[in-house]
Chains A and B, each alone.
Chain A
Amino acid sequence: MALNEKPAADPDRERSSECAAQPASADPSAPGLTTSRRDFLKGGGMLSVSALMGSAALMTMSDDAKASTEWAEHFQKNYRLMTDEEKAEARTRLERRYSSEYGKKVSVDTTGPQPGVLMGYALNVRKCIGCRRCVHACVEENNQSRGTRPGEKIEWIQVLRMERGEFSKDKMNHGYPEGLGIQVGGNAYTPAGQVLEGQYHYNPEAVPEKDATYMPIACMQCEKPPCVKVCPVRTTYREADGPVVIDYNWCIGCKMCMNACPYWARRFNLTTPVLPKQEMNPVTHYLGNRPRMRGVVEKCHWCLQRTRHDRYPACVEVCPVGARKFGNLLDPESEVSLILARKNVFRLKAELNTFPKFFYFYD
């Protein structure tokens, strides 16, 4: 498995771990994801029905729970400054509120970084076929907003599609500059290879397309993250095991981090996220995929709710060609470490000194 150290058991979590409505994506043994998305939705729906019955008791106090928890949430401390008791309190409070709001038993994990772990990610750009299954799996796993109004739909992963460049004789005179009298002919002006400029709204009949290459991009979990530096309230920070996280309850929505991120990895909740009850993933992490509120920033956190419990992020699991690799950089035998040692590896925008822990490679 990816992370060699088994996380210390969190007694509270063990007790509440009988989550009835594990979505298919949260359960690696479930076949839902690898077959098709419709199956997954069906499965998820069935499961949530049972969850609904299970938590009917919780539902009855719905309004009360919401009002009182919101009040308490408003005055709570920054997550890092909370004592263990306060964390536990915040957690039960949220579990109660989410359970009543979404009609299923929701767990909010608070497991911290495990010693000896530094998470790393590697992506094979040769293999990616641009199917965007990672994008959709991420949305489902991490409870992103699915609205239809512009600005309501949030996706953390972008798969950039880039045209493959080509040089040919008949294009010989399509070069640049034209007609300046300095240079005549030449067709090297066509885009070729991977530049960080492309479109992600493509809609092909079948992937991969013949004349395209793909470059998935999301938060790079920078080692020296500009987004953390600019945050005026220190709500976004780097965890000891690598990922950069956001305390959603503490973010003031100033959007400075969005200006600072060179990878356009952060998204702003322009309005209350649209998250249908039956599609909500009830296995959440406090700093990860728990439902967000209006007016805060969110981003990829490498599925803390999974990776802190020795599991792969949803995008790694779902990738049909195995382009995505994840593991512990401190373990020389882990997949990413082996890739770093043996393959041709590069980081995006290395000139900015952000030192991403997300590596691209090719063989």
Chain B
Amino acid sequence: MQQLISFTTDYTRYILKGGTKFYAWMGVLSAFILAMLYVFYLQNTDGLIVTGMTSQISDGLYLANLVFLVGVAAGAVTIVFPAYVYHHEGMHKVAVLGEMLAISAVIMVMVFVFAHMGRPDRLWHMIPPWGIYSFSSMLGWDVMVLNGYLILNFICGFYYLWCKYTGNPINRKWFIPLVYVAIAWALSIHTVTAFLMANNPARPMWFHSMMPIRFIATAFAAGPALIILIFLVIRKNTRFWVDDSAIKLLTTIVQFCLGIAIFLTLSEVVVELYARTEHANGLYYLMFGLHGLTGLVPWFWSSVVLMICAFVMFFMPSFRNDFNKLQIPCVMAFAGIWIEKGMGLIVPGYIPSPIGEVTEYHPSFVEWLMVLGIWAFGFFILTILLKGAIGIMLGDIKYGSQAVAAK
């Protein structure tokens, strides 16, 4: 008990200390969070009418970001898996950082769920015994696996940190099996999210069984791409050293998965457009526009260009091995997949509508503010988690010794 109290206080104290750079960063994030709270208030007094959503296009940016972030959360497994299954040295050192990323991504997903609901005040209807749990609904399963993933990562991550902090050995008897469960679980969260979309025959563009594997491929490209970026930032700004070998392995993973994702996209394009049935209308709208409406065309092609360029760049040793330039393809891959999941998958699923109506969706200012705010919130949490974790790994905070100020 004594230990637990000192763990929390040490942890908090360590997080609160920081340089001007740190406070500026957190300050900017807080500003966005405040803006988010304001638009959230708007949404809950005026209703979702303040967004660009309509009865034709009933899900927009929120659901798109939700789907994307589930992928980022699942992507954390690309660190944990090599670390624990292949005993990769460099990865093992940083595995806990991946878990922290997963925690923040899942929290962001939950906030997006709140933003997306017409009646967030009634979410308890999903939770027994007060509410009803529906086993036939994919959304129910999604909420269940996401919460499970959050809990698993929380336990694994913080148990590891706790052991480092107190200096106790890790109890491998249950820790290692739990890590394996978490690895398998990561796949489940993105698969169920893919089923959420793919199980709707009413939306032909989503209705194919390739969806889960495409989701996983993009997730394992976008997630590690973000992680590489974060690692590079950590190497620059803290005394914590992330091994080159870890970053190299992640680069390889990103590249392979990106390649698979591009291949799957092309397969879909060929299969749908060769026969060009009515069911290809969604994809056709996305690629070339339909009935003169072309709102998503630039999005689609920019995403394709970003992904292919990033893929090619990863082949070039000058980008792959130079950690100053590695950021470029990583950012491109990340952005490309974000577009692919949002404007390239969720929105065109609604166009044309089941009765053939072609309408366009324009996210409103409120929606953009909300999305930015939730991302800011996610980074806020991520910064806190990573800072504390790094402090413990460096030995800056330790049970029984005075905490050292963070840099």
B138 x A252 contact (CB < 8 A): no
Closest to B204 in A: A262
* B46 interface residue per 8 A CB criterion: yes
Closest-CB distance, A11 to chain B (whole angstroms): 30
Q: How many A-B residue pairs have CB under 8 A?
A: 142
User: A39-47, A117-125, A150-158: which lies at the B interface?
Assistant: A150-158
- Given the known interface contacts A226-B201, A261-B202, A295-B117, the answer about A268 and B48 at a Cβ–Cβ threshold of 8 Å is yes
- Given the known interface contacts A74-B121, A264-B353, the answer about A229 and B136 at a Cβ–Cβ threshold of 8 Å is yes
Pick from B59, B121, B349, B353: contact of A255, CB under 8 Å: B59
Pick from A152, A234, A258, A271: contact of B134, CB under 8 Å: A234
Chain A residues lying within 8 Å of B136, measured Cβ to Cβ, are 229-230
Q: Give the CA-CA distance A196 to B122 in the complex, in Å.
A: 36
Chain A residues lying within 8 Å of B53, measured Cβ to Cβ, are 151, 268, 270
Closest-CB distance, B2 to chain A (whole angstroms): 41
* B203 interface residue per 8 A CB criterion: yes
Closest-CB distance, A350 to chain B (whole angstroms): 12
A251 x B49 contact (CB < 8 A): no
Closest to A80 in B: B132
Closest-CB distance, A142 to chain B (whole angstroms): 16
Q: Give the CA-CA distance A252 to B120 in the complex, in Å.
A: 7
Chain B residues lying within 8 Å of A197, measured Cβ to Cβ, are 278, 352, 355-356
Closest-CB distance, A257 to chain B (whole angstroms): 9
* B235 interface residue per 8 A CB criterion: no
B354 x A261 contact (CB < 8 A): yes
* B289 interface residue per 8 A CB criterion: no
Chain A residues lying within 8 Å of B116, measured Cβ to Cβ, are 254-255
Pick from B138, B143, B357: contact of A230, CB under 8 Å: B138
Interface mask (B253-276 → A, CB under 8 Å = 1, otherwise 0)? 000000000000000000000000
User: B6-14, B123-131, B320-328: which lies at the A interface?
Assistant: B123-131
* B82 interface residue per 8 A CB criterion: no
* A217 interface residue per 8 A CB criterion: yes
Kindly identify, within residues 284 to 306 of chain B, every residue whose CB is under 8 Å from any CB belonging to chain A. Answer: none
Chain A residues lying within 8 Å of B49, measured Cβ to Cβ, are 149, 151-152, 270-271
Interface mask (A226-239 → B, CB under 8 Å = 1, otherwise 0)? 10011111110000
Kindly identify, within residues 332 to 384 of chain B, every residue whose CB is under 8 Å from any CB belonging to chain A. Answer: 349, 352-357
Chain B residues lying within 8 Å of A4, measured Cβ to Cβ, are none
Q: Give the CA-CA distance A352 to B203 in the complex, in Å.
A: 11
Closest-CB distance, B407 to chain A (whole angstroms): 44
A268 x B122 contact (CB < 8 A): no
Closest-CB distance, B195 to chain A (whole angstroms): 11
A267 x B356 contact (CB < 8 A): no
* B47 interface residue per 8 A CB criterion: yes
Chain A residues lying within 8 Å of B197, measured Cβ to Cβ, are 259
Kindly identify, within residues 149 to 175 of chain A, every residue whose CB is under 8 Å from any CB belonging to chain B. Answer: 149-152, 154, 158, 160
Pick from B58, B59, B118, B201: contact of A251, CB under 8 Å: B118
Q: Give the CA-CA distance A195 to B59 in the complex, in Å.
A: 26
A78 x B118 contact (CB < 8 A): no
* A269 interface residue per 8 A CB criterion: yes
Closest to B197 in A: A259
A259 x B202 contact (CB < 8 A): yes
A271 x B59 contact (CB < 8 A): no
A256 x B122 contact (CB < 8 A): no
Q: Give the CA-CA distance A272 to B47 in the complex, in Å.
A: 7
Chain A residues lying within 8 Å of B123, measured Cβ to Cβ, are 252
A296 x B118 contact (CB < 8 A): yes
Chain A residues lying within 8 Å of B148, measured Cβ to Cβ, are none
Closest to A294 in B: B47
Interface mask (B222-256 → A, CB under 8 Å = 1, otherwise 0)? 00000000000000000000000000000000000
* A198 interface residue per 8 A CB criterion: yes
Q: Give the CA-CA distance A200 to B122 in the complex, in Å.
A: 34
Kindly identify, within residues 241 to 262 of chain A, every residue whose CB is under 8 Å from any CB belonging to chain B. Answer: 250-256, 258-262
Interface mask (B20-38 → A, CB under 8 Å = 1, otherwise 0)? 0000000000000000000
Chain B residues lying within 8 Å of A196, measured Cβ to Cβ, are 354-356
Kindly identify, within residues 43 to 92 of chain A, every residue whose CB is under 8 Å from any CB belonging to chain B. Answer: 74, 78, 81
B355 x A251 contact (CB < 8 A): no
A233 x B55 contact (CB < 8 A): no
* A263 interface residue per 8 A CB criterion: yes
Q: Give the CA-CA distance A250 to B357 in the complex, in Å.
A: 30
Closest-CB distance, B262 to chain A (whole angstroms): 27
B202 x A295 contact (CB < 8 A): no
Chain B residues lying within 8 Å of A255, measured Cβ to Cβ, are 58-59, 116, 118
- Given the known interface contacts A198-B356, A199-B357, A272-B47, the answer about A295 and B138 at a Cβ–Cβ threshold of 8 Å is no
Closest to A153 in B: B55
Q: Give the CA-CA distance A196 to B278 in the complex, in Å.
A: 11
* B54 interface residue per 8 A CB criterion: yes
Chain B residues lying within 8 Å of A270, measured Cβ to Cβ, are 47-49, 53-55
Closest to B143 in A: A232
Interface mask (B170-208 → A, CB under 8 Å = 1, otherwise 0)? 000000000000000000000000001101111100000
Chain A residues lying within 8 Å of B56, measured Cβ to Cβ, are 264
Closest to B355 in A: A264
Q: Give the CA-CA distance A199 to B355 in the complex, in Å.
A: 9
CB-defined A-B contacts under 8 Å, sample of 13: A78-B125, A78-B131, A150-B54, A154-B55, A197-B278, A232-B134, A252-B122, A256-B139, A259-B202, A259-B203, A264-B56, A268-B48, A270-B54
Given contacts A252-B118, A296-B118, 4 further A-B contacts (CB under 8 A): A154-B55, A232-B126, A254-B117, A259-B197
Interface residues of A (CB under 8 A from B): 74, 78, 81, 149-152, 154, 158, 160, 195-200, 217, 226, 229-235, 250-256, 258-264, 266-272, 294-297, 352
The 10 A-B pairs at the shortest CB distance, nearest first, are namely A253-B118, A197-B356, A295-B118, A271-B47, A262-B202, A270-B49, A271-B49, A232-B137, A232-B140, A232-B139
